[in-house]
Amino acid sequence: MLLPAINNIVEVCAKQQLEDVILSPGSRCAPLTIAFNRHEHFNPLSIPDERAAAFTALGMSLKSQKASILVCTSGSAALNYAPAVAEGYFQQIPMIVMTADRPPEWIDQLDGQTIRQTNVFGNHVKKSYDLPVDYTHPDAQWQINRIINDAINLAHQAPAGPVHLNIPFREPFYPTVSETVTFDENSRTIKQWAVKKDLAQDQWQLVKEQFESFDRPLIVVGQAPLNDSLIRIIDEFSKKYHIPVVADGISNFQSLENAIGLIDNILMGANNKANLQPDLLITFGKSVISKPLKIFLRQHKAQKHWHIQEEGIPADTFQQLTDTFNISPTTFFSNMNSGIGTTADINWFEAWATHEQHQRNILSQHFAKETAFHELAIVHQILQALPAGSDLHLANSMTVRNANFVGIPTDSDLEVFCNRGTSGIDGSNSTAIGSAIKSGNITTLITGDLAFFYDRNGFWNNYLPKNLRVIVINNHCGGIFGVIQGPSQLPELEDYFETHQPLDAQKLASDHQMEYACAQDATTLKNSLEDFYQAGNGPKILEINVDKALNKAAFSAFKTLIKTSPCN
C-alpha cells in the first residue's frame, strides 16, 4: 500500500511552512495519519473528539494566523467539524480540513460509515475540493499536487478562511510492516505572492476632500487581532483630526489612548443619542459585540459610511454603507494622516471623550464600594488581576457581555479572543486550549458554566498546556435568559431556557489532572487569583459559584445606576 501522491500532500504542506496538524483516530484516514506522523516536519496531535479537535485547531490558527490542518475519517466524523469550520469562516481564520471518504461508487449503497461528503460544509468554506480516487495516473498526481497548493494559498488569501479537501481511499490503506513511507522532496509548491493594494493619487485626493466636508466623523473598530502598529497610526489620526474611535472589548484597541470602550454603557446612559450621531462613519474589522451600538447606528444614520476591507463582499451591518475601500486599514489611515487641511469639530470629539470618562468614573466608584458577589463584580475583579502580556479568551453569552460592560483594562497589553464569528457557546474550551498550545503566554479563559460543560471534551487530550488558566463562573444555569427581554418573563424560563444543572468543575479537573480551586466570595476570589497565576505543574481551573437571583438583581441595579447618572 504505497500511495506516493498522498504522502506528497504532506510534503507540500511541509514545504508551504504549515506547522500544526490535529488527527482524529479512524481507519479510512490511515494513509494521511501515517504520512503526517512519519514526516519529520510535523509533530501531530491526536484528539479523539472531532468537534473538540476542530476548535482546538481553530485556536491554534487564531494565535498563529497560519492554517492548521485537520484530518478525520469518513462518515459523521466530518460533520462534527462543522461548528468550528463555520466559526473559522465567519471569523476569517485559515484552516485546511481533510476528510477521508469512501470511494464514490459506494455512496448511498448502505455501506458503513458512509455519508455524502462532497461539499459537506456547504457555503461555510471558501472552497471544497474532491481529490481523484485514482492516485497512480500521472495526471491524477499532477491534479492532487495542484489542488493541495491551491487549497493552502486560498485559505490564506484575504479574507482568510477554511478550505475543505475530501479525499476518497480504497482499501487497503494500511502499509505492511516492510513498507517505508517516503516523501518526494521535489514535490512542486506553488507560491502565492501578495500584492499590496492602494489607491491612485487622484483617488486619495478625492477621498481627503470628501473627508474635509464632514464635521462629525466616527471610527468603529470591529473584532481584529492585536496590531500595535495600526493602533499607533490610528492614535495619530484620531488626535490630529479630533475623531472618536469606538472599540469594544474584542477589538484589541483597548490600549488606544482615547478609545471609546464602554459603548454599551454610554448608549444606555445618554439622554439625547442624536447628539452622538456621526455624519461620516468609518469602519473596519469584523463583528462588534454591542447590540445597542448596532441599533444606534441603524437609527441615527451617517451621511456616508466608509468600510475598509482588503477583499471580499463587505457586510452592511449598520444599513448605511456607501463606500468600500479594498485596502488594508494600515494603508488607509497611514495615507489619511497627511494632506488634510481641516479637522473635525473638537466639541464632537470632546463630547465622546466626556461620555467615556463619565462611564469610567461610574465604574470606578461603583466597584470601589460594591460588596455583593455577583458576575459583573467578579468579571471586573478578574480583569484587573490578569498578568501583563497574557492572552484572554472570553466565552460567549453573558461572559463576553459582562466584560464589555466593565471594560477591558485600558493600560493592559492583553490580546483578547472570542468566537464571535457565529457567537456560539460550543468550542470555547477547545479554542482556548489550541491557542494556549501555540502561545508561550499565560492564556486565561473566562467562561460560564453552560459553555464550559458543553465543551467538556475539549479537555480530553494529552496536550493540555501548563500556561492554560480556566475560570468558570457557575450560576448553574443559562443566566443570560433571566436578564434579557422575552424569556425572563415567561413561565418556561427555568425549564426550557435557563436549563438548570447541578454540575461542578472539580471532578472534571480531577479527571484531567488539572489544579482546582473554588471561590465563594470576594475575599476567597482575591486569594485564589493570587495563587492561580503562580507557576504550577500544569493547567488550572478556578470555579466561582454565584447566585443567579443575585446576578439578576445586581445587573438590573447596574443598568439603573447608568440610566440615572446621565451625561449629556
- What are the grid coordinates assigned to 271, written together? 439622554
Between CA 424 and CA 340 the distance in angstroms is 43
Which grid cell is 285?
Answer: 474589522
444 and 548 in a common domain: yes
Residues 293 and 328 in one domain: yes
Distance CA 495, CA 475 (A): 15
3-state secondary structure 9-39: HHHHHHHCCCCCEEECCCCCCHHHHHHHHHC
Choose the final residue of a domain: 288, 316, 351. 351
154 and 211 together in one domain: no
**Among the listed residues 124, 48, 47, 114, the one whose alpha carbon sits nearest the alpha carbon of residue 83:** 124
Instruction: Tell me: do 396 and 258 sit in the same domain.
Output: no
Is there a domain that residue 365 lies in?
Answer: no
Residue 361 lies in a domain: no
Residue 196 in domain:
no
Helices 201-212 and 329-336: angle between axes, nearest 10 degrees: 70
Residue 559 lies in a domain: yes
Residues 378 and 338 in one domain: no
Same-domain check for residues 381 and 515: yes
Residue 174 lies in a domain: no
Let me know if residue 474 belongs to a domain. Answer: yes
Distance separating alpha carbons of residues 469 and 443, to the nearest angstrom: 6
Q: Residue 258 CA to chain centroid, in angstroms?
A: 25
The CATH number of the domain holding residue 219 is 3.40.50.1220
Q: Which of 351, 378, 404 delimits the end of a domain?
A: 351
Indicate whether 55 belongs to any domain: yes
Structural domain boundaries enclosing 335: 201-351
pLDDT tens digits, the chain, 568 residues: what are they? 557 889 999 999 999 999 999 999 999 999 999 999 999 999 999 999 999 999 999 999 999 999 999 999 999 999 999 999 999 999 999 999 999 999 988 888 888 788 899 999 999 999 999 999 988 889 999 999 999 999 999 999 999 999 999 999 988 888 888 888 889 999 999 999 988 899 999 999 999 999 999 999 999 999 999 999 999 999 999 999 999 999 999 999 999 998 999 999 999 988 888 889 999 999 999 999 999 999 999 999 999 999 999 998 899 999 999 999 999 999 999 999 998 988 889 999 999 999 999 999 999 998 888 778 999 999 999 999 999 999 999 999 899 999 999 999 987 789 999 999 999 999 999 999 999 999 989 999 999 999 999 999 999 999 999 999 999 999 887 777 767 677 677 777 677 676 888 889 999 999 999 999 999 988 899 899 989 998 888 899 999 999 888 888 888 888 899 988 877 6
60 vs 68: CA distance, rounded Å:
7
Is the same domain home to 406 and 281? Answer: no
DSSP structural state of residue 387: P
545 located within any domain: yes
CB atoms within 10 A of CB 311: 12
Could you tell me the CATH number of the domain that includes residue 481?
Answer: 3.40.50.970
Distance from the Cα of residue 453 to its chain's centroid: 19
CA distance 240 to 337: 8
Shared-domain flag, residues 482 and 556:
yes
Looking at the fold, whether 46 and 141 belong to one and the same domain comes out as: yes
Q: Which of 316, 351, 386 is the last residue of a domain?
A: 351
Q: Are residues 102 and 242 in the same domain?
A: no
Do 344 and 376 lie in one domain? The reply is no
Contact status, residue 442 vs residue 415, Cβ threshold 8 Å: no
The total of structural domains in the chain comes to 3
458 and 495, same structural domain? yes
